[in-house]
């Protein structure tokens, strides 16, 4: 069963989402005492939670002639760090046209043993040509999610840091026999940095 805002709030009080915002934020103060500026929404919604993109790191795949990206033997040289830009609209990374990038969630998750989380893209980005990869966080998983984005448009696109970037849906089921924690999953306790493929 998909979980609602009341359940998400109660679980967040026990550390499921940190930091946690109990409302959906659509605008923030630009400067102390200054006017409000719109943001891509983040925080609690009716049946989900919109997490933010961390400003800590964003990496973009680049072509290195003569190489092939191998998930079993990943070469970090295939990822180029993106610069964090800033203007009156906020902090942002630029994802070039027809490219793929990796970011990381600002919020840290601690998923209960009887819940799996599905991470889906926000429509604001989808309407701009940015596709967020459908990402799971299994029962018992902890850490900052590494997030994957594809720019399917023919134009460069901004991805805003410290603003909503994907939505989490929480699905509760019968307790599993072996959780991610119990099987010592290889992506457990990810830091607020992009985590590369591991085998």
Query: What are the catalytic residues?
Result: 148
Helix (H) or strand (E) holding 6: helix 5-13
101 bridge partner residues: 60, 149
Instruction: Judge contact between 45 and 146, C-beta under 8 A.
Output: no
Instruction: Judge contact between 163 and 54, C-beta under 8 A.
Output: no
| Dihedral, 157, 64, 55, 195 alpha carbons, nearest 10 | 130
| Dihedral, 118, 84, 55, 171 alpha carbons, nearest 10 | -10
- Name the DSSP letter for residue 8: H
86 bridge partner residues: 91
Q: Rounded to whole angstroms, how far apart are CA atoms 58 and 102?
A: 6
Q: Is 152 helix (H, G, I), strand (E, B) or coil?
A: coil
Joined tokens for residue 145:
């999610």
């Amino acid at each position: 069963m998909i979980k609602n805002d009341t359940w998400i709030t109660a679980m967040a009080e026990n550390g499921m989402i940190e930091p946690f915002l109990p409302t959906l934020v659509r605008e923030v103060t630009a400067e102390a005492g200054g006017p409000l500026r719109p943001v891509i929404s983040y925080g609690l919604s009716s049946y989900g939670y919109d997490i933010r993109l961390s400003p800590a790191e964003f990496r973009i795949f680049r072509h290195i002639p003569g190489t092939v990206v191998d998930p079993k033997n990943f070469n970090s040289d295939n990822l180029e760090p993106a610069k964090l830009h800033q203007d009156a609209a906020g902090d942002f990374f630029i994802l070039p046209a027809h490219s793929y990038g990796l970011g990381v969630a600002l919020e840290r998750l601690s998923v209960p043993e009887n819940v799996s989380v599905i991470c889906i893209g926000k429509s604001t980005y989808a309407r701009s040509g940015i596709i967020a990869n459908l990402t799971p966080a299994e029962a018992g998983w902890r850490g900052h999610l590494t997030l994957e984005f594809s720019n399917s448009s023919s134009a460069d696109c901004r991805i805003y840091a410290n603003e909503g970037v994907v939505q989490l849906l929480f699905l509760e089921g019968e307790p599993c026999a072996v959780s991610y924690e119990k099987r010592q999953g290889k992506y457990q306790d990810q830091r607020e940095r992009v985590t590369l493929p591991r085998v």
